[in-house]
Amino acid sequence: MDSIVVGLQWGDEGKGKVVQKLSRSHKWIVRFSGGPNAGHTVYHGNTKMVHHLLPSGTNENFLFISRGTLVDLETLNSEIKEISKIYPDIKERLFVSPYCRVITPIEKWQDGAIEKTKGKNSVGTTGRGIGPTVSNDANRVGIRLFDLFDQNHLKEKVDLLAEISNFGDQSIADELLSQFEKIKDRVLDPKVEGQILFEGTQGIMLDPMYGTYPYVTSTPTIPSFAFYGSGLKSEKYEVWGVFKAYTTRVGSGPFPTEIFGEAGDDLRKRGSEFGATTGRPRRCGWIDLPQLEYASNISNVDHLVMTKADVLNGLEKVGVCISYDKKIIPYDLGSLKPTIEYVKGWKNLESSEFADFISAIEHHVRRRIKYVSYGPSEEEIFQR
């Protein structure tokens, strides 16, 4: 059976490790959205690597960066070079769709300029050029990978994009072509046969249509986009929803269960909550059950996976948001008042108190937690 892995909060839930775990029973790992603004931390044996564009997987998998993904060629080539030290044959198993949108220095510059202009209303983007690349593509002036097969055509498109953006650097086309040459032979839509694992990015609450707009990402994060974003079909699939035992968020936007002061700092240190892509400290808060239920329903999740359960070990009490004063409306989340109850903490994951915590989540979300992850490596996970 095919699988789709998505995050059920605001990203950074630990999806990379879950994909790595599930990759053992799949042939293809497919990225279908996002770009280098996503960071999946994965351990390949004893080697830690942050995947920004390359799908998580092992030497048994074929990897496909499909058309819904935004590609920064410099980042992609850097990752290929890094992971080739672990899997020397990686390029033979990697394919990149020619329909992928290309992030250029123009969009990165635009990203910074737009955020600066917004001032106090900035959304806290990663500065990787994601939003402007999607915007330029919608305006039919963006660059796709297939444009790089024709040098003269590419230079015309780059000149137009630069003129529209008031960007003066004329060396961009040559830089793009230089990077493109390194992966040119891997740019094609492959014939995908065998079981597929679709790897999502960010989290459901960052989806531009179903999340906390305008504090969202620029490409869809819901699992139903996997097929549109990849161009692939699936006869039968299951959705895996990943969430932390608490909640985190990077950047601006509403966060009803956020913890401030010493308690927030303590949780951040316990969980090493700093962005894999930007290094920014993440905002931390208690688990939000209404939010988790909303994201699970929108995603039609079949299985839940809890990560970082061990981070809360040893706390005297643990906060749980059980309700709001009114129904969740994502764009109005900042106006909702959460009801937070405190449950008795647990010593370790064998404690009855932790079992009670699990049961409370499953009862509210009406889905079973199939795996519990308690550390960074692939082996540090158990099935329930």
Q: How far apart are CA 336 and CA 58, in angstroms?
A: 43
**Is it the case that residue 277 has pLDDT exceeding 70?**
no
Instruction: Please determine, for residue 214, whether its predicted confidence score (pLDDT) is greater than 80.
Output: yes
Domains, the chain, ordered by start? 101-185 (1.10.300.10), 244-383 (3.90.170.10)
CB within 8 A of 139, min separation 6: which ones?
164
More confident residue, 307 or 59: 307
Residue-wise pLDDT tens digits, 244-257 = 999 999 989 999 99
Token pair listed for 364: 């509210």
Does the pLDDT at position 283 exceed 80? yes
> How many helices (H) does the chain have, and how many strands (E)?
10, 19
Question: What value does the mean pLDDT of the chain take?
Answer: 93
Phi-psi region of 300 (alpha: psi -120 to 50; beta: other; left: phi over 0): left
3-class state of residue 288 by DSSP: strand
Interatomic CA distance for residues 123 and 246, integer angstroms: 22
- Per-residue pLDDT tens for 215-228? 999 999 999 999 99
Please tell me the predicted confidence (pLDDT) of residue 182. 97
- List, in order, residues 6 or more apart from 57 with CB less than 8 Å away: 19, 20, 23, 29, 63
DSSP for 99-140, written as a single string:
TPEEP-HHHHHHHHHHHHHHGGG-----SSSHHHHHHHHHTT
Q: How far apart, in Å, are the Cα atoms of 243 and each of 51, 88, 205?
A: 19, 33, 12
12 is catalytic: yes
Identify the band that residue 270 occupies on the pLDDT scale cut at 50, 70 and 90. Answer: very high
Active site residue 52: no
Token pair listed for 305: 């996976």
Is the per-residue pLDDT at 74 higher than 70? yes
Q: Which two tokens mark 350?
A: 């064998």
Phi, psi of 111 (to 5 degrees): -55, -50
Tokens of 309: 């359960």
Query: Above 80 in pLDDT, residue 38?
Result: no
Say which of 2, 12, 111, 147 is annotated catalytic: 12
DSSP string, 238-269: EEEEEEESSEEE-SSS--TTB--HHHHHHHHH
- Whether the CB-CB separation of 278 and 250 falls below 8 Å is answered with yes
Q: What confidence category does residue 114 fall into, taking pLDDT thresholds of 50, 70 and 90?
A: confident
Residue 276 has pLDDT above 70, yes or no: no
Q: Is the pLDDT of residue 124 over 80?
A: no
Q: Contact at 8 Å (CB) between 276 and 214?
A: no
Q: 73-83 vs 172-181: helix axis angle to the nearest 10? A: 30
pLDDT score of 213 more than 90: yes
The rounded distance, in Å, linking the Cα atoms of 343 and 316 is 9
Q: What pLDDT sits at residue 280? A: 81
pLDDT score for 169: 72
The predicted structure's pLDDT at residue 138:
96
Q: What digits encode the pLDDT tens for the residues 297-306? A: 999 999 999 9
DSSP 187: B
Residue partners of 299: CB distance under 8 A and separation at least 6: 6, 8, 204, 222, 223, 239, 241
- What is residue 304's DSSP assignment? E
The mean pLDDT value for 43-70 works out to: 90
- Using pLDDT thresholds of 50, 70 and 90, give the confidence band for residue 72: very high
Q: For 346-379, how does the pLDDT look when each residue is reduced to its tens digit (9 = 90+)?
A: 999 999 999 999 999 999 999 999 999 998 888 8
C-alpha 1/C-alpha 23 separation (Å) is: 12
| Residue 77 binned pLDDT confidence (cut-offs 50, 70, 90) | very high
Half-sphere exposure of 241 (CA within 13 A, CB side): 30
DSSP single-letter state for residue 55: P
Residue-wise pLDDT for 151-209, tens only, equals: 999 999 999 999 998 887 768 999 999 999 999 999 999 999 999 999 999 999 999 99
Secondary structure class of 77 (helix, strand, coil): helix
Tell whether the model's pLDDT for residue 34 goes beyond 90: yes
